[in-house]
A and B are shown apart, each in its own frame.
Chain A
Amino acid sequence: MFERRLYYHVDWAMLGAVIALCLMGLVQIYSATGGSSLYVTQMYGIAIGLVALVICLAIDYRSLADKSHFIYLGILALLVFVLFFGVVRGGSRRWIDFGALNLQPSEFAKAAVALVLAKFFGESRRGAVVPSDLIIAGAITFVPFLVIYQQPDLGTAATLLPILFIVAFAAGMPMRIFGILAVIALLAAPIAWKFALKDYQKERVSTFLDPEADARGAGYQQLQARITTGSGGPWGKGFQQGTQGQLRFLPVAHNDFIFSAFAEEHGFAGVFVALGLYLFVILRSIESARLAKDRLGAYLVLGVLASFTFQVLYNIAMSAGLAPVKGLTLPLMSYGGSSMIATLAGFGLILNVRMRRFTN
């Protein structure tokens, strides 16, 4: 199954960049949590994630795609299970308790959706995307979206949407449909504002638009994120020297706001390196999509990459106080086992596609 010559086609450079980001995140978690054992947990997450990566790399993505509907249904079942029997933390029901490990199935839903969508569009015999395709693909995406939204976890649910759009885009969805969707979204926004968003979500959005109006309440985190980042300066305050993160002015400095804390301690120089690594990983993945042997491979790479990229961009923008505060982690760097494992597994798929570009 794992032929020896495939070994030479593994994208070591990208894998190196991914692991480098994991280690930077690990160091930052250690710094932000100052001696607590969270970094050890994160190390386990990385280790398990690498195992998952190897597994996803080892099995031919085409075989995986063939089984994708089982994977999809399995994840969906877990999501429904979580909805009823999950562990509640911070007001949402997201986790399955496995004793030592809490698993968050929604993180794995991304890869599952990517797989199913890649298979759906990749096997389409039609040259172009027609509305009926879009409706089926939409259904595939929105079923897990709605289940995750019920947890509630709008942030993770939202990361499923880029998968749909990017894969559909690559599959040749006509631009005018994008236009129509954009118009519908604009028209739907006020309705969503009124009915779909919860009060705290509305507050976050309105606070983002005018953070000074509520510098002590909801605007606090956003303002603190900006202060944290800005006070880092060109070279940063140094490892464990960040006052904002260390003294807890910045909330969840090891998780949602890890990039702010990173920017504080390592300055613009560190930010430059981290942004560079992320950009490298993303561009390299797009390159893998281009090199993919078949459409299935290309769509799979783009599907996995879409949610990853969306989350990276959103989280980093939020870290600089440039986006409304949303409980969205930074893939590869933030603390969190499920996210780490799912993300690394996703990169296993991307590497998989590139590695097998010459096989039949």
Chain B
Amino acid sequence: MSQGENRRRIGERLIVLQVAVIVAFATLGICFWVLQIVQHDKYEEMAENNHQRTLALRAPRGVLFDRTGKILVENRHSFTISILREHSKDLERTAQLLSQVAGLDLAQVQQTIERHRGEPSYRPIVVVEDATLAQVAAISARRLDFELPDVRVEEVPTRKYPTDALAAHLFGYVGQASESQLGDGIAQGDIVGQQGIERIYNKILMGEDGAKRVVVNSVGREISTLEEIPPTEGRRVQLTIDYDLQKAAEAGFRHAGFNGAALIMDPRNGEVLTYTSLPSYDPNDFAAGIDRATWASLNSDKLRPLQNRVIQGRYSPGSTFKIVVATAALEEGLVTPDHRITCNGGANFFGRYYRCHLKGGHGSVDMRHAMEKSCNVYFYTLGNMLGVDRIYKWAEKLGMAGKTGIDLPNEQESLIPNTEWKLKRTGERWYPGETISVSIGQGQVSVTPAALAVMISTVANGGTRVTPHVIKAVDEGDGKGWAPSPVPAVADKVAFKPDTLTALRDGLWMVVNAAGTGRRALIPGRDVSGKTGTAQVISNEGRARARGTDRDLRDHGWFVFFAPRDNPEIAGVIFGEHNEHGYLGAPIAKHVIETYFAKKEGKPLPLLPEQTPPSSTDEDPDSPPALPPVIVADNQVLPPAVVPAIATQ
């Protein structure tokens, strides 16, 4: 091959190489064009997702104050530990390391991850709520070593409730928003009120979460902050509750040694001063997410600590209902306060004999003394004269039918029977015999403690049915200061005849201050007035049948009260669960009333006596008489219409 030919061939092959190189570079150029110009937006976004993170800054919920400005519910800082899946390279390894470092159960961590697997990966999975400082320290150290870049420790404000589960049912509790609560400013993962004030006033209390956009490096460490929108704290709310009275009531129950409920309010405007339901739960358990075991034990507890007895428990009012019957009879003009009826220890109505609790009878009594002694025959007679519909009418006017309208969730309706109701419900007409038991608060009558509190308040203030409420003022925010909450409209107003009012007040005053059943609430000079009652849990026949089961069949006791007799400032109800005697609630009322006046007059608050009160052997006039079966017109015999006053939720 000649030299020239050789050179020509090399030249040809060099051209091939030149073309190949140009094509290769052109291809690269086009690829970069596509990546950097055509698909730029997509990769720009991916780069931003890489290094920018938006962290939610949780807004603290609004602080709750009592009526004197004392903090009741506030916020503390707690730490949550969560996994950011979108930054996880190996979720399994993270789970293992995390559980090892933080001392968690691996299976449980894996379960938690599994539960949230379906959610979008940018949403952090919370593994530990309310982590201990030791856990936080251990994890932070590992994060610095780049071992757990996908684990986030976050400081979040958490609700802090008073110790001793004070007023737990009033405050309610918070928890993660459920599916049905989403929307209207509530997003997945938000903490919202689930019960009580937290729930009803959630919108006011919740505040607005802020956000922080930060730049992080490839191991998740924050490098700088791009933007920060601070959270807006929930609005502060002042309650009508008085901390000292609330404490006094709960201490009173503990001292007395039974569970129950109390609603004590200012009868002039319906401001609730004390709201107690026992046994209780600790809302702090819910604040940072309740664990399954605690939740399960709260739910399976036979004493039902989650039940808000004040507005969700329904019981027969017993002798406290005599106040309603007396009011009805006086206002309907059937009798005067001086109307006398002779009690011989029982009376016949519709062919049956209805007993009074006093075997020998009270003799001839007027209305005042009938109240004082809680004479059944007197009120059987009045009830018979009134008929059930007029009793219903006045019970409703006094606030015992339906709901009280208190600003708390899940209130149950109180039930007062009438002819229409019975016809609708059973298709049967009302038998006059049934009225007799209704007139002493037995039969179908079934009311919440709240309803009785409203009733006694209406009597106390002379006929104005106020709506109980728990909010006094709300901080408007933005420096506008406190704005008083509007007082809920008065539900009903009847001007009692002066005679009626005097007679009622006299009778109730005598219950406490004379020879009545409420002497344990007596405070010299305070003119406490009240009425005891017993709510039968089960009929006498039912009791025989239920013997041997583990149901608690002891009666409940009531004490409704107000003070002072003239121009009352405080009124309410003490419900003692299975405490058998209404008068056992009287010392609790006494303690609260004493506290109220001591506080008002700037005196030292009273202390409860050291020793527990001796279990009573007093004769209890409220003990429900054994009611005879009702004879109806066509000679059918009905069983005694005693509703087992089982607490209904």
Contacts and interface: CB of A to CB of B under 8 A. Distances in A.
Nearest to A231: B47
B11 to A, nearest CB: 6
Contacts of A117: none
B14 A313 contact: no
B39 A230 contact: yes
B163 to A, nearest CB: 47
B50 interface: yes
Interface string A217-261: 100100010111111111000000001100111000000000000
B13 A169 contact: yes
Dominant SS among interface residues on chain A = helix
A127 B6 contact: yes
Interface in A160-195: 166, 169-170, 172
A259 B47 CA distance: 17
Contacts, number: 129
A217 B28 CA distance: 26
Interface string A17-35: 0000000000000000000
B21 A322 contact: no
Interface stretch (A51-59, A270-278, A330-338, A348-356): A270-278
Contacts of B22: 279, 283
Contacts of B18: 283, 286
Contacts of A38: none
Contacts of B32: 229, 263, 268, 271-272, 275, 320
A268 B31 contact: no
B1 A230 contact: no
A286 B14 contact: yes
A320 B28 contact: yes
Interface stretch (B195-203, B214-222, B336-344, B441-449): B214-222
Interface residues of B, number: 41
Given A229-B43, A230-B42, A298-B10, A268 B50 contact: no
Contacts of B47: 227-228, 230-231, 243-244, 249
A303 to B, nearest CB: 12
A228 B46 CA distance: 9
A243 B50 contact: yes
B90 interface: yes
B497 interface: no
A316 interface: yes
Contacts of A289: 10, 14
Nearest to A166: B17
Contact of B36 (A216, A249, A268): A268
Interface centre among A227, A244, A322 (most CB of B within 10 A): A227
A224 B215 CA distance: 17
B485 to A, nearest CB: 51
A295 interface: yes
Contacts of A290: 10-11, 14
A244 B9 CA distance: 48
A249 B218 CA distance: 5
B40 interface: yes
Given A230-B36, A320-B35, A243 B29 contact: no
Nearest to B91: A216
Given A227-B50, A230-B43, A267 B36 contact: yes
A248 B28 contact: no
Contact of A249 (B13, B39, B50): B50
Contacts of B29: 271-272, 275
B90 A271 contact: no
Given A244-B47, A295-B6, A317-B28, A282 B35 contact: no
A128 interface: yes
B38 to A, nearest CB: 9
Given A309-B21, A317-B28, A229 B10 contact: no
Nearest to B21: A282
A302 interface: yes
B144 interface: no
B37 interface: yes
A343 to B, nearest CB: 17
A169 B10 CA distance: 9
B36 A234 contact: yes
B141 interface: no
A279 B18 CA distance: 10
A169 B9 CA distance: 10
Contacts of B48: 243
B122 interface: no
A134 to B, nearest CB: 16
Contacts of A230: 35-36, 39-40, 42-44, 46-47
B89 A229 contact: no
Interface string B51-92: 100000000000000000000000000000000000011100
A229 B46 CA distance: 11
9 contacts: A166-B17, A243-B47, A247-B50, A248-B218, A248-B219, A263-B36, A289-B14, A290-B10, A295-B10
The 9 closest A-B pairs by CB, nearest first: A230-B43, A127-B1, A231-B47, A247-B217, A248-B218, A268-B36, A230-B35, A216-B89, A231-B43
Interface of A: 127-128, 166, 169-170, 172, 216-217, 220, 224, 226-234, 243-244, 247-249, 263, 267-268, 271-272, 275, 278-279, 282-283, 286, 289-290, 295, 298, 302, 309, 313, 316-317, 320-322
Interface of B: 1, 5-6, 9-11, 13-14, 17-18, 21-22, 24-25, 28-29, 31-33, 35-37, 39-40, 42-44, 46-48, 50-51, 88-90, 215-219, 223
